[in-house]
Structure 1
Amino acid sequence: MTHTLHFACESVAADGVRSTRVLPVVPRRLIVAGWTGRDRAAIDHHIEELQALGVPPPSSVPLYYRMGTSLLTQAAQIEALGAQSSGEAEPTLFFADGQWWLTVGSDHTDRQVETYSVAVSKQLCAKPVATAAWRWSDVAAYQDELQLSSRILEDGRWVDYQQGTLATIRPLASLRDGIYDAVPEEGSIMTCGTLGALPNAKGEGIRPAAEMEITLHDPRLHRSIVHRYAVQVLEVVA
């Protein structure tokens, strides 16, 4: 079954004038890129983070997980079975109208299932994605300056959960070209990795939350793409 996503896509002309148009996108192929840190120490930190939850280390770096396109959603709420899932902000590329666009998404994952299969854990959860995007060619030259962050609703207040720049992630074009053809199919989508979680006062890193807000900020053009979603926990019945 196919569904359509809609993105308000912003382009920047040579004279600096911005224009926005809404593009409908029917997802045809979804790739979740994992272990995409540019710095090996950062990769090792994320591996250790997940190993603390019982997740085995990756077989290679980076890894490309093929996911069902039906998982993608722009809704303000997703449903998750049990209370052990959590999200993570990721720069997300998609191919539409003959070119690549950049937005922000969340690779929401079942952390319990992740302890025995990362691929299955990712396939079990919806993948929220924002409703706005920037033309990739407009930001590619300074992608390292783009700021990626997230907040979660924890104990009744919003707290910072992730914070950093895309300089800590492998160049997005190299990740994209590692799996997609030079001229990909319309509706090709890739999430490109994430940042480590900031620990709370209890020292907890990766953790579930009732709501999450993900943000991609462009400091040069003073613009941001923001998406917030809530998680409805479904009861696990044996």
Structure 2
Amino acid sequence: MEALEQLERSERNAQLSGPFLEILPVSGAAVSTLGDLLGSETLSATNPEAAKLDEVQFDLGEGPCWEALATARPVEEPDVLRSVRWPAFTEAIRELPVRSLFAFPLVVGSLRIGAIDLYSATPMTLEEIDARRAVEMAKIVSRRVLQRALAEVGGEYAEDAGNIHSRRVVHQATGIVVAQLRVPPEDARLVIHGHAFATSRSVKEVATDLVEGRLDFSVQEAGDA
């Protein structure tokens, strides 16, 4: 799918929202980070209305993106103006050309880092095939956002490529996370690096805790469910 390839090839976060409009029947899209790990920020928006939806949710602390983040599941609201789901948010966007809202969480393993907001100017629901496409696109966006965030901080949260023991323990830990969370190795490494960043520890320290059984991401994920 060309939109998936565009996301894979994207060089900047600002390019992450556009592909959603190419294959989904929506009017606008925005990609944002949320919560304590990466902070709350709009990384990409296709138009001012999409950016405004993010801004209102940041200010109020409620809305579809927050619900998607909290549940780690897609959120759909076919007609937000008739909904009582998020009263303050709905009132704040009443004058915008927005009727339907869809949010997809940005998740890498056990790390919840943000959400994708989609909206339509007319009441609607997403067809099952479109919802599946959005989920697949959200997986790619999740990895890209976390990879870039970790690349920016670098330093102590990067692997010590010159230390053989460090590489070995991180490799072992990656295999453990693959088994715990049933994710690909690339995602497992991102989870380890993201946890190191979130807890202000080195990747080697986190990896060692995983290998020695002091840390179990499958337990954390079950507790969040």
Q: Which protein, 1 or 2, shows the higher relative CO under an 8 Å CA cutoff with sep ≥ 6?
A: 1
Shared fold per TM-score greater than 0.5: no
TM-score (normalised: structure 2): 0.27
Which structure features the higher share of strand residues? Answer: 1
TM-score (normalised: structure 1): 0.26
Which structure features the higher share of helix residues? Answer: 2
